[in-house]
Amino acid sequence: MQLLGILAFVVALLVSVMIHEFGHYLTARRFGMRVSEFFLGFGTRIWSRQRGETEFGIKAIPAGGYCRIEGMTPDDEMPDGEEGRAFYRASAGKKLIVLGAGSFLHFVLGYLLLFILLSGVGVNQVLPVIDSVVPNSAAAAADFQKGDEIVAINGDRNIKWQSQLDKIRNSQGKELVFTINRGGTEIDISAAPRMTNIDDGTSRYVLGIINEFGTKRLTPIASISDAAELTWTFTSASAKALVQLPTKIPALWGQTFGGQERDENGLVGVVGVARVSGQVSSSGELTTSERIGTFILIVASLNIFVGLFNLLPILPLDGGHMAVAIADALRAFIARLRGRPTPTAIDIKVLTPITAVVFVVLAALTVLLLIADIFNPILLNF
């Protein structure tokens, strides 16, 4: 099962890469740009087929993929009569759409996976069903019973239990009317939450019930908005992780070569994520739906992180090319305001030294993560 989970993650990763490149391909073709190659992987060709002007295929090293759009710089040669289809000749708006399409589809894929998770698989959460009633509590005095499902509080049938829980905690001890589903029949029970000391040293108003915990599916309509909220949550968390990334590298070095225990919330590479996927798939502590749901969460969060990472304004990432396109547009706008001719587009080749430095840094971080994931992997406790 662990090998199956790893293979499933590898397939999901390759599909994500293909979808990313397909975004570049579709938008480039839509704007009339010439796309000569669309390959999954790098290195030696294993298989390819020509479709129109584009060669589609698979290469030996499954470490990504690429979509070759001709004419990225003015120095690139174009076939006779095709000069107008060069990428660099397109407007700034079209360039930004083509460059950003890959990351956009990562977010779309992440959202769709979360929608499937919420509406199809379900997520583990606290349910509004009573598992037990605390003795001498407000719930016990009001005759709440095990198995009662709280469907409404003061007439509010909010399906999110956290929102209903807030009503109890913010009640200030005032009486609330609980609509209970008991054995298929709805009844109303009135109870006033009591101020209670909690184990963490705080005090708050509680009803005195312990809820069941289980898997719950949302309706497709509810999943639309909830998946969007979850996508935003993952995006915000990814942005925070990117900001903190430089500060976590020293700790990763110590965990890799100093024998320190890996931090579950620290940096992890593709190999590490694949290993975690394998652990999830082979865990006997999780149900089948929990294993599937966790795997979907891993793939969805990875897509959202990669989509955001790829938008960083540094070459050779798509965000770096987008930054150059924006800079070209600003230079052209300023030139028009001054009544001057449009300046020559920025030659990306001039920025090759910067690109090379960034590439070396990213490659070094990748190697460091690879070593850490192999020799000091993150192990989850189920």
Residue 241 is which amino acid? A
Domain boundary among 167, 191, 216: 216
Instruction: In whole angstroms, give the CA distance from residue 155 to residue 158.
Output: 9
Q: Do 138 and 284 lie in a common domain?
A: no
Boundaries of domain holding 175: 124-216
Residue 161: what pLDDT?
A: 82
Q: Do 201 and 114 lie in a common domain?
A: no
Q: Do 255 and 374 lie in a common domain?
A: yes
Residue 276: what pLDDT?
A: 75
Domain boundary among 166, 195, 216: 216
Residue 205: what pLDDT?
A: 92
Q: Do 279 and 333 lie in a common domain?
A: yes
For the domain that residue 133 is a member of, what is the CATH number? Answer: 2.30.42.10
Q: Do 263 and 347 lie in a common domain?
A: yes
Q: Do 128 and 236 lie in a common domain?
A: no
When pLDDT is averaged across residues 19-29 and rounded to a whole number, the result is 95
Helices (H), 191-287: 220-257, 270-282
What confidence tier does 381 reach under pLDDT thresholds 50, 70, 90?
low
Q: Do 350 and 236 lie in a common domain?
A: yes
Instruction: In whole angstroms, give the CA distance from residue 362 to residue 170.
Output: 49
Does residue 21 lie within any of the structural domains? no
Token readout for 5 is 């989970």
Q: Do 163 and 227 lie in a common domain?
A: no
DSSP helix/strand/coil, 162: helix
Domain total for the chain?
2
Domain boundary among 184, 216, 248: 216
Instruction: In whole angstroms, give the CA distance from residue 32 to residue 94.
Output: 10
Does residue 14 lie within any of the structural domains? no
Mean residue pLDDT of the chain comes to: 88
What confidence tier does 123 reach under pLDDT thresholds 50, 70, 90?
confident
Q: pLDDT digit string (tens) for 235-247? A: 999 999 899 888 8
What confidence tier does 159 reach under pLDDT thresholds 50, 70, 90?
confident
Integer CA distances (angstroms), 362 to 235, 269, 299, 309, 316, in order: 21, 12, 22, 12, 10
Residue 307 is which amino acid? G
Does residue 164 lie within any of the structural domains? yes
Q: pLDDT digit string (tens) for 35-85? A: 999 999 888 999 999 999 999 999 988 878 899 999 988 888 888 888 899
Q: Do 113 and 129 lie in a common domain?
A: no
Q: Which is it for strands 176-182 and 185-191: parallel, antiparallel or unpaired?
A: antiparallel
Q: Which residue has the tokens 């929990």?
A: 290
Integer CA distances (angstroms), 27 to 30, 97, 166, in order: 5, 7, 46
